[in-house]
Chain A
Amino acid sequence: MSVNILTVRGVERRFDATLALQATDLDVAENDFITILGPSGCGKSTLLRIVAGLDQPTAGEVQLDGRRISGPGADRGMVFQSYTLFPWLTVLDNVCFGLRERGLPRAQQLDIAHGFLAKVGLKGFANHYPKQLSGGMQQRTALARALANDPRMLLMDEPFGALDHQTRELMQELLLGIWEAERKTVLFVTHDIDEAVFMGSRVVVMSARPGRIKLDRVVPLAHPRHYSIKTTAAFTELKAALTEAVRTEVLAAQAQSA
């Protein structure tokens, strides 16, 4: 077992009277790919946003490499569900954004940016503006932009949620391929069980509101993973168990709102 780079200790988040996330603990080891599953409104995005530093916990704390997180920073790159490329910058300059902030010489910025654009398959689109790209291409650019910054962790909040099914599957393979090559530590929020099992080395299931971690399972599938793995017995077995766990929570969430 490798060292934990991220520790979440007793993190809780209240919005006025509502408890969105109840005292949660989570340890993330170096090179882990953790997928977080749960019904909508269970606080999984809240947890991710607290790790990103975009939201503050009302109790508990998050530590990255032993240092307490108090705000957002370049050490935690994030890919959002909404399209967040800067519309006034070309694809290339979007990927350079964080590098330029660090004061890297332009030649070096371009070097790194072109490298990552090639990795996400957008070599010929460097000079396009975001509005000229499809949704999938925009998210690939957002991924390149986050990776170019060389963060300690990659946080992904349903990054493929707005894409159509086929594009989403291609994006999963692309991200998995990049992870297998770069071995970034990833925290990935999704409500798609297939996605959670296919991508994750660990799957965490959260309960209905107030959210807490209800199940934490290691995915017993070897890397590199080919998409055909989705039809193997090991995959379907885990998927069935997770489906059951998530379903209970979705029903509980519906009972709450009824």
Chain B
Amino acid sequence: MKPLVPVAPGARIALGVSFFVLFVAVWSAATFSGFVNPLFLADPWAMVKSGYTLLAEMGFAGDVGMTVWRVLGGFVIAAVLALPLGVLMGAYKPIEAFFEPFVSFARYLPASAFIPLLILWAGIGEAQKLAVIFIGSFFQLVLMIAVTVGNTRRDLVEAAYTLGVSDRGLIRRVLIPGAAPEIAETLRMVLGWAWTYVIVAELIGASSGIGHMITDSQALLATDQIIFGIIVIGLIGLVSDLMFKAANRSFFPWAQLGR
């Protein structure tokens, strides 16, 4: 191994998969040998069996659907509002000076701490779940988008002005397209964070969703179901991340060049 030397694509996949294999192997060794009490940690096979029961008999697919819907709903609302505000803050420094201190403050407020308040305000329905996701992702998105837009190369801005671009045209034709790939990366990252908020929101005051199933299983000491729930979350996260990456690559082919 030498620092920063890339690894061949085939070897890369093999290495990535082998850690999963190692992980399951250690887990199996610890549980099948009886070293760990099944009450605390179920073995992989029990987990797969209970996963099947959950999906086939207990309508777990519906819970998964609910959770996905909540994440996407809250995230899309946050993104739709954060995009224009972030772009304006990045482009116009007075607007940034007005919002930035508050947004920086709000970003550190833990979304989960709002849950009791949100239940008071919005009940335990969908509005509350969406609000948790929104609070968790909106402020992060605004700040990161503003920074990305504000970092536009100044020489490109100057070149655009000498080509006769107006201020509005500069935002529409230089700042936004130039920042787009990095904004898409930001969206991908924050979507990952949104997944952690939704589960917390569902642990309290929910009657459906993956988080709700996990709370129910806790009451029954069904660690096999809890682990299955966690793994499902991980898999959905992985798949959505890969899809997002592929979409970014096909939307912004120019950003891939020379990497």
Contacts and interface: CB of A to CB of B under 8 A. Distances in A.
Interface of A: 52-54, 71-74, 76-78, 80, 82, 84, 86-89, 97-98, 101-102, 129, 131-132, 142, 145-146, 149, 155
B159 A80 contact: yes
Nearest to B178: A88
B184 to A, nearest CB: 12
Interface of B: 155-156, 158-166, 169, 173-174, 177-178, 180, 252-255, 257-258
B163 A77 contact: yes
B155 A80 contact: yes
A86 B178 contact: yes
A109 to B, nearest CB: 13
Contacts of A97: 160, 163, 165, 173
Interface SS of chain A:
loop
A145 B254 contact: no
Contact of B164 (A74, A86, A131, A155): A74
A71 B162 CA distance: 9
B163 A131 contact: no
Contacts of A76: 162
17 contacts: A53-B161, A72-B158, A73-B164, A77-B162, A82-B155, A84-B156, A84-B158, A87-B178, A87-B257, A88-B252, A97-B163, A98-B163, A98-B165, A129-B257, A131-B257, A145-B163, A149-B163
Contact of B165 (A54, A101, A129, A145): A101
Return the 10 tightest CB-CB contacts between A and B, nearest first.
A74-B164, A98-B163, A72-B161, A84-B159, A131-B257, A78-B162, A131-B258, A129-B254, A88-B177, A84-B155
Given A98-B164, A149-B164, A131 B254 contact: yes
A77 B173 CA distance: 18
A78 B164 CA distance: 11
B162 A52 contact: yes
B217 to A, nearest CB: 48
Contacts of B160: 86, 97
A180 B164 CA distance: 25
A78 B257 contact: no
Contacts of A77: 162-163
A52 B252 CA distance: 32
A21 B3 CA distance: 47
B187 to A, nearest CB: 17
Contact of B166 (A82, A101, A142): A101
Contacts of B177: 86, 88-89
B161 A88 contact: no
Contacts of A80: 155, 158-159
Contacts of B155: 80, 82, 84
B101 to A, nearest CB: 28
Contacts of B253: 129
Query: Which of B158, B159, B161, B177 has the most chain A CB within a 10 Å cutoff?
Result: B159
Nearest to B176: A88
Nearest to B258: A131
B180 A101 contact: no
Contacts of A129: 253-254, 257
A73 B161 CA distance: 6
Contacts of B254: 87-88, 129, 131
A157 to B, nearest CB: 10
Nearest to B179: A88
A97 B163 CA distance: 7
Contacts of B252: 88
A131 B259 CA distance: 10
A87 B174 CA distance: 10
Contacts of B158: 52, 54, 72, 78, 80, 84
Nearest to A129: B254
Nearest to A145: B163
Given A86-B159, A97-B163, 4 more contacts: A80-B158, A87-B254, A87-B255, A132-B257
Contact of A78 (B159, B165, B166, B255): B159
Contacts of B258: 131
